[in-house]
């Protein structure tokens, strides 16, 4: 596997970002990306100026092949937009900038690469016991060290959850060990939903980076052969992602030499993947750029699910329909906060109880345990006020507990009614 970062995919991940040129610190905002250019807004050009992707690719290749790249026109064959190129190359993780003359270098240490290479070695080595033990170095690598490395690299704990597993404690070791990144508004568990994960080949041949699915959830749903259902769902999720984003990725089932049901499930459940052979993992600058790309694929698949659900729901407000652009995106964030991560909703109910804040009915008191199913956790921030997806959610204060009927009443207007406003409407009628 070459130490390679695709210039177009890297630039797509920077759209909307404000960067600074390495030498003079001038503002560059990435506006858009087409097949040949990145449109960059500068202090002199508010409409944006084109920066050629082929020169960005040249700089990225030089950095990853040689360990450093000098940011100057002569590096790019006399191309005059070298400062903008430097801003985009400098946006990589695990690089260092110094000068003059301005040079961007790979960081001297690459802990993610080292950790994944170590995992490939350790997975074939004998364990200290036949069952999962926290004292085993293999357990420490997956449950503590690799997740810690990823958190330190880029992941804010409020937005993403990073978790590793080598198997359940005191049970036999898992055939396939993994380290996953979960969007907390989608899932917090590898058992359900979809997520991005590093899967270490059981024979130590290398590591897959995969957009994958919860095998346990699919198994519990029943109805037909598990691997076929997972493969069908992988195809559905793949269809929600622009095809041009997948052209250089593995879109067939993975080859983990799986013997167990769970490993075969991971193989079939993969939506898209990249394989890094053992001994050829690139520097962290390339690994983290590709991980960021997979997080973008993750968001695209999730947004596609949200759009489908909003389009099919007759109660979706008109401004939140998929064709409504920004308002639709805000509404999807709102729905994710309320319902996709059921664990968050369950915590809100467990903390606040099961009495509807609008009509006052206590459904557990009236119906017993089944009453827990009659109430929802309503996200209090109106979706029209969201400028970005909610990431720091407190189940004790960011939600109101309301019954299904009152929840529908709250969402009958745009922006949604406050629970107190909905209660006043009920009191009048």
Q: Which helix (H) or strand (E) segment is 213 a member of?
A: strand 206-213
> Does residue 1 sit within a domain?
no
Query: Is the preceding peptide bond at 134 cis, omega within 30 degrees of 0?
Result: no
Shared-domain flag, residues 262 and 359: no
- Using CA of residue 189, residue 278, residue 106, residue 12, what is the dihedral sign? negative
Shared-domain flag, residues 282 and 136: yes
> Does residue 292 sit within a domain?
yes
> Does residue 309 sit within a domain?
no
Residue 70 contacts residue 102 (beta carbons within 8 Å): yes
Q: What is the pLDDT of residue 30?
A: 96
Shared-domain flag, residues 273 and 327: no
Q: Which domain holds residue 407?
A: 314-428
Shared-domain flag, residues 254 and 212: yes
Shared-domain flag, residues 209 and 295: yes
> Does residue 307 sit within a domain?
no
Strand pairing partners for 18?
29
Distance separating alpha carbons of residues 160 and 291, to the nearest angstrom: 13
**What integer is the mean pLDDT of 80-100?**
94
Shared-domain flag, residues 121 and 249: yes
Strands (E) located in 299-388:
375-379
Domain boundary among 252, 280, 301: 301
Distances (CA, A) of 122 to 148, 282, 384: 18, 19, 50
> Does residue 32 sit within a domain?
yes
Q: What is the pLDDT of residue 189?
A: 87
Q: What is the mean pLDDT of the chain?
A: 88
pLDDT tens column, 393-418: 788 888 999 999 999 899 888 778 89
Q: What is the pLDDT of residue 172?
A: 94
Shared-domain flag, residues 120 and 201: yes
What residue has token string 């290479």? 117
Domain boundary among 106, 123, 146: 106
More confident residue, 198 or 325: 198
Shared-domain flag, residues 189 and 143: yes
> Does residue 363 sit within a domain?
yes
Shared-domain flag, residues 123 and 270: yes
> Does residue 251 sit within a domain?
yes
Shared-domain flag, residues 38 and 187: no
pTM across the whole model: 0.83
Q: What is the pLDDT of residue 154?
A: 65
pLDDT tens column, 313-361: 666 655 555 554 555 566 666 666 666 556 778 888 999 999 999 999 9
Distance separating alpha carbons of residues 188 and 411, to the nearest angstrom: 27
CATH of the domain at 282: 3.30.920.90
Q: What is the pLDDT of residue 219?
A: 76
Strand pairing partners for 64?
none
> Does residue 383 sit within a domain?
yes
Residue 3: both structure tokens together = 């130490």
Residue 149: both structure tokens together = 């490395």
Domain boundary among 60, 81, 106: 106
pLDDT tens column, 272-328: 999 999 999 999 999 999 999 999 999 899 888 877 776 666 666 555 555 545 555
**What integer is the mean pLDDT of 238-265?**
93
Shared-domain flag, residues 285 and 142: yes
Distances (CA, A) of 344 to 199, 212, 383, 411: 27, 21, 18, 20
Total number of domains constituting the chain: 3
Residue 257 contacts residue 202 (beta carbons within 8 Å): yes
**pLDDT at 204 > cutoff 80:** yes
Shared-domain flag, residues 249 and 320: no
């Amino acid at each position: 596997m070459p130490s390679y970062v695709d210039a177009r995919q890297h630039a797509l991940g920077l759209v909307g970002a404000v960067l600074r040129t390495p030498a003079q610190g001038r503002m560059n905002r990435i506006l858009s990306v087409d097949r040949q250019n990145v449109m960059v807004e500068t202090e002199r050009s508010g409409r944006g100026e084109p920066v050629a992707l082929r020169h960005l690719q040249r700089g990225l290749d030089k950095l990853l092949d040689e360990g450093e790249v000098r940011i100057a026109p002569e590096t790019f064959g006399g191309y005059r937009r070298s400062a903008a190129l430097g801003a985009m190359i400098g946006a990589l993780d695990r690089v260092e900038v110094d000068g003059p003359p301005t040079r961007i270098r790979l960081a001297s240490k690459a802990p993610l690469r080292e950790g994944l290479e170590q995992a490939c070695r350790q997975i074939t080595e004998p364990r200290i016991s036949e069952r999962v033990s926290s004292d085993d170095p293999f357990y420490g690598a997956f449950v503590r060290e690799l997740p810690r490395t990823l958190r330190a690299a880029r992941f804010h704990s409020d937005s993403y959850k990073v978790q590793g597993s080598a198997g359940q404690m005191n049970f036999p070791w898992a055939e396939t060990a993994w380290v996953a990144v979960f969007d907390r508004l989608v899932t917090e568990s590898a058992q359900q939903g979809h997520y991005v994960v590093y899967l270490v080949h059981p024979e130590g041949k290398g590591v897959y980076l995969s957009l994958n699915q919860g095998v346990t959830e699919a198994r519990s749903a029943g109805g037909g052969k598990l691997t076929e259902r997972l493969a069908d769902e992988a195809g559905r999720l793949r269809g929600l992602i622009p095809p041009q984003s997948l052209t250089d990725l593995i879109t067939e089932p993975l080859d983990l030499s799986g013997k167990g049901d769970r490993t075969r499930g991971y193989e079939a459940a993969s939506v898209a993947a990249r394989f890094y052979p053992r001994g050829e993992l690139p520097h962290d600058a390339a690994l983290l750029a590709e991980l960021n790309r997979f997080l973008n694929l993750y968001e695209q698949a999730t947004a596609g699910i949200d759009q489908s659900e909003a389009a099919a729901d007759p109660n979706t407000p008109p401004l939140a329909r998929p064709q409504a652009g920004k308002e639709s995106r805000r509404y999807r964030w709102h729905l994710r906060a309320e319902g996709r991560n059921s664990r968050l909703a369950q915590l809100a109910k467990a903390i606040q109880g099961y009495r509807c804040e609008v009509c006052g009915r206590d459904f557990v008191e009236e119906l017993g345990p089944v009453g827990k199913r009659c109430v929802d956790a309503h996200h209090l921030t109106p979706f029209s006020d969201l400028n970005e997806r909610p990431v720091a959610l407190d189940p004790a204060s960011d939600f109101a507990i309301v019954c299904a009927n009152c929840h529908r009443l709250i969402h009958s207007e745009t922006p949604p009614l406050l629970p107190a406003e909905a209660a006043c409407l009920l009191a009048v009628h």
